[in-house]
Amino acid sequence: MQPTDNNRSVFIASRVANEALDGWLEDHAVVVVGDRIDSVVPRGQLPSGIAETATVHELGDVSLLPGLVDAHCHMHCSATPDAQRLALTEDNQRLTMRAVNAMRQAILGGTTTLRDLGSRNEVAFPVREAVRSGAIPGPRMLVAGTPITITAGHCWFFGTQADTTEQVVSAVRNQVRQGADVIKMMATGGNFTPTANPRRPQYSAETLRAAVEEAERSGVQIVAHTLAADGVQNCVEAGIHHLIHARWQSSDPTAGLEYRPDVVKRMADQGQWVDPTIGHALLGEEAVEQRGLPGAPIHWAVTERMISREEHVEALSKMDEAGIRFTSGLDMGMVHARHDLTGANAWAFVEWLGWPNWRAIRAATADTAEALRVGDIVGKIKPGLIADLAAFDGDPGANIRDLGIASTVVQSGNVIKLNHQAFV
Ligand SMILES: [Zn+2]
């Protein structure tokens, strides 16, 4: 971090996001005192001689946003085509080194708050503590530790395997004891795990409900991965707080999606959040089609009837129209989902779902902060909130692809990166 001789600093940019996150304040200054945003004022209203009482950073022709918030990371996964093999075979020390590097990449990319939804406990908790203590750089973190899955189920190789309701409840308690901020359940199989069928549920609604009750008793959030229509329905019946992917694959291997409007209506009525992970899909598609890189291995359970991007996007659009609120979670660490590219979620919201740019920017900041239950401290450039900021060259309000790698990053008032120069 760049040393400062006082605890007051000023960041001046051509464009500063307004509090509502629907437009720019031209040529404004964000005044930071300690770790908090003190005020946002036009440059002309800064007191003369401000440079004598504060460290003034002229960021120039950039767009200054709140630090980005990502709802879905796997800190120790490699984001390469062989991510699954590495997660399966590498020891905890090697995975820890990957995680430390990935968390540095994430914060230098502009993600200042992140939720990790599945990494070995021995890696996830010490990395979170090292970031908290300032020993290594990284975003503010909410961490699940090991996801709860069935024997041989989705991500069993870094999960806690629990089959019965009793075992699941015990697994929730065990994660809470070890310091989990959030519980991650694998409600269906997944594409990352050959032994887990993504078209079928892993748990009944009753078992998921028991896990929800246990998480709520312990005061932690509970989220669930689900790719199958039956899995989505189970998560809705159980009251899972945040559904991950929320795809609608039929259990019939020869069929496509089974969208269920009645289930979506109940989901909306219950205020359940959805993380559609479409940024990951976009990055995967571009890596394969535009850069000729190998993609993720195709799961045996979906080869009989491949489901197109258009079908998935159509289902997400219907959920959007039904009032479901989406978060920005990349599934960082999965194949081609680089830890510094959370912005790809916003690209996909605009380019695939047709959202206005500022709506996608809100998803990448304030909305996801709200879903992670930290919206009262981060997610906006607003006096009183923690001074987490990310500046981007260009104008993401006009061109969403400008929401790429941040040129300047401020975390809790500390300068992590300034005009492309990293200090960590
Ligand atoms: Zn994931």
Mean pLDDT of the chain: 96
Round to whole Å and give the CA distance between 386 and 34: 9
- Whose tokens are 């440059």? That residue is 43
Round to whole Å and give the CA distance between 336 and 320: 26
Q: Are 254 and 286 in contact (CB under 8 A)?
A: no
Encode pLDDT of 386-419 as tens digits.
Answer: 999 999 999 999 999 999 999 999 999 999 999 9
Mean pLDDT score, 253-267: 97
The predicted structure's pLDDT at residue 36: 97
Q: Which CATH number fits domain 68-371: 3.30.1950.10, 3.30.70.60, 3.30.70.660, 3.20.20.140?
A: 3.20.20.140
Residues 6+ apart with CB under 8 A from 160: 146, 147, 148, 149, 171, 174, 175
Mean pLDDT score, 259-279: 97
Whether the predicted pLDDT of 3 surpasses 70 = no
Which amino acid is it at 200?
A: R
What is the distance in A from the centroid of ligand 1 to the CA of 69?
16
Encode pLDDT of 128-164 as tens digits.
Answer: 999 999 999 999 999 999 999 999 999 999 999 999 9
**Tokens in use for 326?**
């989406």
Encode pLDDT of 28-75 as tens digits.
Answer: 999 999 999 999 999 999 999 999 999 999 999 999 999 999 999 999
Whether the predicted pLDDT of 336 surpasses 80 = yes
Q: How confident is the model at residue 295 (pLDDT cuts 50, 70, 90)?
A: confident
The predicted structure's pLDDT at residue 360: 98
Encode pLDDT of 213-245 as tens digits.
Answer: 999 999 999 999 999 999 999 999 999 999 999
What is the distance in A from the centroid of ligand 1 to the CA of 273?
16
In a 10 Å sphere around its CB, with 0-12 CB exposed, 13-18 middle and 19+ buried, how is residue 398 labelled? exposed
What is the distance in A from the centroid of ligand 1 to the CA of 19?
31
Mean pLDDT score, 112-135: 97
What is the distance in A from the centroid of ligand 1 to the CA of 405?
22
What is the distance in A from the centroid of ligand 1 to the CA of 332?
7
Q: Which of 234, 315, 240 is nearest to 271 (CA)?
A: 240
The predicted structure's pLDDT at residue 322: 98
**Residues 357, 363, 366, CA angle at the centre, nearest 5°?**
115
Q: Output 36 or 305, whichever has higher pLDDT.
A: 36
Q: Are 246 and 320 in contact (CB under 8 A)?
A: no
In a 10 Å sphere around its CB, with 0-12 CB exposed, 13-18 middle and 19+ buried, how is residue 306 labelled? exposed
Mean pLDDT score, 362-383: 98
Whether the predicted pLDDT of 2 surpasses 60 = no
Whether the predicted pLDDT of 111 surpasses 80 = yes
What is the distance in A from the centroid of ligand 1 to the CA of 13?
35
Residue 329's φ and ψ, nearest 5 degrees, are -140, 125
Instruction: Provide the residue ranges of all domains of the chain, joining segments of one domain with +.
Output: 8-67+379-422, 68-371
Domain 8-67+379-422 class in CATH: mainly beta
Residues 6+ apart with CB under 8 A from 171: 148, 160, 162
What is the distance in A from the centroid of ligand 1 to the CA of 310?
21
- H, E, C per residue of the chain: CCCCCCCEEEEEEEEEECCCCCCEEEEEEEEEECCEEEEEEEHHHCCCCHHHHCEEEEEEEEEEEECEEEEEECCCCCCCCCHHHHHHHCCHHHHHHHHHHHHHHHHHHCEEEEEECCCCHHHHHHHHHHHHCCCCCCCEEEECCCCEECCCCCCHHHCEECCCHHHHHHHHHHHHHHCCCEEEEECECCCCCCCCCCCCECCCHHHHHHHHHHHHHCCCEEEEEEEEHHHHHHHHHHCCCEEEEEEEECCCCCCCECCCHHHHHHHHHCCCEEECCHHHHHHHHHHHHCCCCCCCCCCHHHCCCCCCHHHHHHHHHHHHHCCCCECCCCCECCCCCCCCCCCHHHHHHHHCCCCCHHHHHHHHHHHHHHHCCCCCCCCCCCCCCECCEEEEECCCCCCHHHCCCCCEEEECCEEEEECCEECC
What is the distance in A from the centroid of ligand 1 to the CA of 397?
28
Q: Which of 6, 77, 72, 112 is nearest to 326 (CA)?
A: 72
The predicted structure's pLDDT at residue 6: 59
The predicted structure's pLDDT at residue 352: 97
CA dist 15 → 41, 63, 421 (Å): 12, 5, 20
**Tokens in use for 227?**
């790719």
What is the distance in A from the centroid of ligand 1 to the CA of 186?
9
Q: Are 118 and 125 in contact (CB under 8 A)?
A: no
What is the distance in A from the centroid of ligand 1 to the CA of 368?
16
What is the distance in A from the centroid of ligand 1 to the CA of 118?
7
What is the distance in A from the centroid of ligand 1 to the CA of 334?
7
Mean pLDDT score, 288-315: 89
Which amino acid is it at 216?
A: E
Round to whole Å and give the CA distance between 323 and 317: 10
Residues above pLDDT 70, as percent of the chain: 99
The predicted structure's pLDDT at residue 197: 94
Which amino acid is it at 112?
A: T
Residues above pLDDT 90, as percent of the chain: 92
Question: Half-sphere exposure of 256 toward its Cβ, with a 13 Å CA cutoff?
Answer: 11
On whether the pTM is more than 0.85, the answer is yes
Whether the predicted pLDDT of 209 surpasses 60 = yes
Give residues whose Cβ lies within 5 Å of ion ligand 1. Answer: 331
Q: Which of 89, 59, 92, 58 is nearest to 75 (CA)?
A: 92
